[in-house]
Amino acid sequence: MLSKKIEDILNKQIEKEGYSSNLYLAMASWAENEGFKGIADWLYAQSEEERMHMLKFIAYVNERDGKAKIPAFEKPSFKLKNAKDLFEAVLKHEHYITASINEIMALTMQEKDFSSYNWIQWFVNEQIEEEANVKTILDKLRLVGENNLYMFDRDIMSLRTPASNPPVA
Ligand code: OFO
């Protein structure tokens, strides 16, 4: 059984994961229109992964006798000039998500909800991996430069690590 505070913060995270999925979907569409087929594929895959994160939060809340709420999602908005802008925006967003996962972890300790504390660890590790992946991409982009993106775009999918499955409740 989840405390009201834990249920509320997990419901907020459902909204954030769903927004992340839509944000990366909107960015994928931007990349496709700019002719970056590889970057678009990377973002479509990332969007799916975020949707999977959202579904895991929904399942966890419901399995622990809470009520998962499906919210309306804010329209993603961003201004991008180039691929570097895009991945900097992705990294900034992942930092924001990491901070909110850390807040959940802190609250599970405060509420002495050790089941939720254990469960959220998967997301703590996932955030380390996601931030590291985007940093690697930004490093590669710096190396190739904005005028030489053909091979970067062709090879970017090889930088993805396969999605792993978070535990269920
Ligand atoms: Fe990009 O992360 Fe979800 O949690």
Q: How far is CA 63 from CA 21, 117, 118, 159, in A?
A: 23, 15, 15, 34
Q: Is the CB of 97 under 6 A from ligand 1?
A: yes
Alpha-carbon span 53 to 149, nearest angstrom? 30
60: nearest Cα among 16, 99, 110, 118: 118
How far is ligand 1, taken at its centre, from the CA of residue 45, in Å?
A: 12
Give the pLDDT of residue 144: 87
Structure tokens at 100: 């909110």
The residue to mutate among 47, 126, 128, having the most atoms of ligand 1 within 8 angstroms of its beta carbon, is: 126
**pLDDT digit string, tens, across residues 72-89:** 999 999 999 999 999 999
The residue to mutate among 13, 25, 50, having the most atoms of ligand 1 within 8 angstroms of its beta carbon, is: 50
Domain CATH for 117: 1.20.1260.10
54, amino acid identity: M
In a domain, 41, yes or no: yes
Alpha-carbon span 118 to 31, nearest angstrom? 37
DSSP type of residue 76: P
Residues 135-141, mean pLDDT to the nearest whole number: 94
How many distinct structural domains can be found in the chain? 1
In a domain, 139, yes or no: yes
